[in-house]
Amino acid sequence: MWLRFGVTVFFILAIAAAVWDIVPWFEIQRWAVGEQRTFQNVMAGALRGIQAGNPQAVWTLCSATAAYGFFHALGPGHGKVLIGGASLASGATLKRLSILTFLSSLAQAATAIFLVGGLYFILQIGSADLTDLTETWLAPASYVAIAAIGAVLIFRGARCWYQISHVKQDTHGCCGHSHGPSFNDVATLTSTRDAVALIASIAIRPCTGALFVLVIAARFDAFAVGCLAVVAMGFGTAVFNQIVATSGVAARRLIGLGARDPKGMQAISATLHLIIGFMIIAISVGMLLP
Amino acid sequence: MLSAMCLGGVTKAHPHVFVDARTGFIFGSDKQLETIKISWRYDAFTTLVLFETLELDQDKDGQLNDADRVKILEGETNWPKDYKGDIYLEVLGHDYPLGRPEAAAVTLNANQIEVSFDLPLSQPVRVDSTPIFLRLYDPFFYFAYTIVSAKASPDLPEDCEAQIVLFEPTAAESVIQDKLAALGREDRPEIENVGRLFSDEVQLTCG
């Protein structure tokens, strides 16, 4: 078993390293930063237009926030870690992952709207305190939740390996590749409970950019327009995360080509659970440290 | 800006604030560099955020009044102890100690707030043909600085030259930078040095 485990881990990491090396991360990020700067300025212009009562400015603002959401998502962020990890490790279909991606981005926009709507309007909390609250409490809460999901993945991967090595009668699946009823129902992300956990852990923490758009819009007596713009931003982010999810599923299939039999596929899936689980924990703990 | 936006740190690996920075140099006698002049012009969105977070322009005339200017300068130039203004002066391969902002001023032009101030060197430095480097960067990349040429910089002594070298990755460099960028996000190594590699710089030389 250990040999098989070692070979599987090596195989997966080798593919990951090869793919990582091909992508020109630095150039992509530089380009994204330039685009973000452009759209950030368009957003400012549109917000001033709204203040001046120009109806066209609403559409300019929404297009700019959507583009901002997309390019801002190109930087490192908590949602991608989870969406990417989930699409690699889980047995969920691309369609299901797409829905989850859009729901989590929209839920994140909703959090921003509720935060600003509730705290800023009702409790009269200033925007500086609002971002303070987000960064001091909500961001760490989100990372803790994400780390917990990583732990669940590790648990499921370990349990699956245990079953592979100890249960001799085959044909039963685990880790989302079950044909017929599985004995432990460990299919990651195929249950509603898993989906809700994933969406919630992303949505806890709103984007500071979204908070600022909302408070500025509120200052200009156009909170509703701000809400619309933030939803558009969520869609932009979702489109980018969609690319991440698609790559994740493609990578999972690519890795799956290495499996010679259903049992091999199970071993790969279990190993992916372990590797992704550890990666998610490492990254979220890294983000939590001061 | 600092109190409102520079929270946390390591998670901020993509920029939210874009700054067009201008630099200038004030010399004493005998090519002794005494003071650096800095100005930061914030992007239009950040300017709106500043208006909101600092509750500026209460009279809504779109202009800054004295109270607004006091609030902005308090946040911009009354730096916490461990903050060096994202300003780094390298003399003979070492970080050269700088003082705190003096003669600070703030303006609002074309919906962009611009803050300027003087930063004295702890001790004047004689500049010769070995370049002195001035770099502006945020190690956490929450603030993205671009050095632009000064509108009216103070006259440099004869034979002295200040040249802006914009950051441009070459293909060979970018491989290293990819790796550093990846490290910077997750492992946080010698972060100061990583930031340095990505920044624009001004090279100052004399005769």
* C-alpha torsion A40→A112→A125→A201, nearest 10: -120
Selection from B56, B100, B101, B78 nearest residue B3 by Cα: B78
Tokens of B84: 């060096």
Q: Which residue is listed with tokens 């991360």?
A: A25
User: For B139, which DSSP code?
Assistant: T
Contact residues for B1 (Cβ-Cβ < 8 A; gap 6+): B17, B42, B46, B50, B75, B76
- For residue B2, the surrounding DSSP H or E stretch is helix B2-5
Chain B: give the shortest CA distance to residue A16, in Å.
14
Alpha carbon distance B113, B73 (integer Å): 11
To test the contact with chain B by mutation, choose from A20, A211, A212 the residue with the greatest count of B C-beta atoms within 10 A, namely: A212
With an 8 Å Cβ cutoff, are B111 and A44 in contact? yes
Confidence at residue B21, expressed as pLDDT on a 0 to 100 scale: 94
Contact yes or no for B52 and A216 at CB 8 A? yes
| Residue B87 three-state SS | strand
**From the list A45, A131, A282, which residue is nearest B4 (CB)?**
A131
Cβ within 8 Å, pair B3-A128: yes
Give the per-residue pLDDT at B159: 86
Residue-level pLDDT at A180: 36
The pLDDT value given to residue B101: 92
**pLDDT at residue number B108:** 92
Q: Is A253 on the interface with B (CB under 8 A)?
A: no
Q: Between chain A and chain B, how many beta carbons pairs sit less than 8 Å apart?
A: 99
- Rounded to two decimals, the pTM is 0.79
Q: How many CB atoms lie within 10 A of CB A250?
A: 13
Facing B174 at nearest CB: one of A26, A72, A212: A26
Between CA A196 and CA A175 the distance in angstroms is 19
SS (H, E, C) chain A: CHHHHHHHHHHHHHHHHHHHHHCCHHHHHHHHHHHHHHHHHHHHHHHHHHHCCCCHHHHHHHHHHHHHHHHHHCCCCHHHHHHHHHHHHCCCCHHHHHHHHHHHHHHHHHHHHHHHHHHHHHCCCCHHHHHHHHHHHHHHHHHHHHHHHHHHHHHHHHHHHHHHHHCCCCCCCCCCCCCCCCCCCCCCCCCHHHHHHHHHHHHCCCCHHHHHHHHHHHHCCCHHHHHHHHHHHHHHHHHHHHHHHHHHHHHHHHHHCCCCCHHHHHHHHHHHHHHHHHHHHHHHHHHHCC
Question: Residue B97, class by beta-carbon neighbours within 10 Å (0-12 exposed, 13-18 middle, 19+ buried)?
Answer: exposed
Instruction: Give CA–CA dist A88/A188, Å, rounded.
Output: 11
Give the minimum alpha-carbon distance from B32 to chain A in angstroms, rounded to a whole number.
37
The parts of chain B modelled with pLDDT lower than 70 are: 1-14, 151-154, 169-197
Q: How far is residue B121 from each of residues A5, A51, B28, B102, measured CA to CA in Å? A: 60, 44, 12, 11
Reading chain A (290 residues) residue by residue, the pLDDT tens digits are: 667 777 777 877 887 777 777 777 777 777 888 888 899 999 999 999 998 888 899 999 999 999 999 988 877 667 777 888 888 887 778 888 899 899 999 999 999 999 888 887 777 777 777 777 777 888 888 888 888 888 888 888 888 888 877 765 554 445 544 443 343 334 566 778 888 888 888 888 888 888 889 988 988 889 999 999 999 999 999 999 999 889 888 888 887 777 767 777 778 888 888 888 888 888 888 777 75
pLDDT number for residue A228: 95
Q: What pLDDT is stored for residue A281 in this prediction?
A: 87
At residue B202, the 3 state secondary structure works out as strand
User: What is the span of the domain harbouring residue B184?
Assistant: 2-206
CA atoms in the 13 A half-sphere facing the CB of A216? 26
Are the CB atoms for A248 and A84 separated by under 8 Å?
yes
Which residues on chain A are in Cβ contact (under 8 Å) with B52?
Answer: 127, 212, 215-216, 219
Residues of B in contact with A282 (CB under 8 A): 186
A208 Cβ under 8 Å from any chain B Cβ = yes
A283 has a chain B CB within 8 A of its CB: yes
Q: Which of A199, A231, A195 is nearest to A112 (CA)?
A: A231
- Total of domains in chain B: 1
ipTM over 0.90: no
Q: Verify whether the Cβ–Cβ distance B45 to A283 is below 8 Å.
A: no
Question: What's the pLDDT at B139?
Answer: 79
Residue B51 CA, chain-centre distance (Å), reads 21
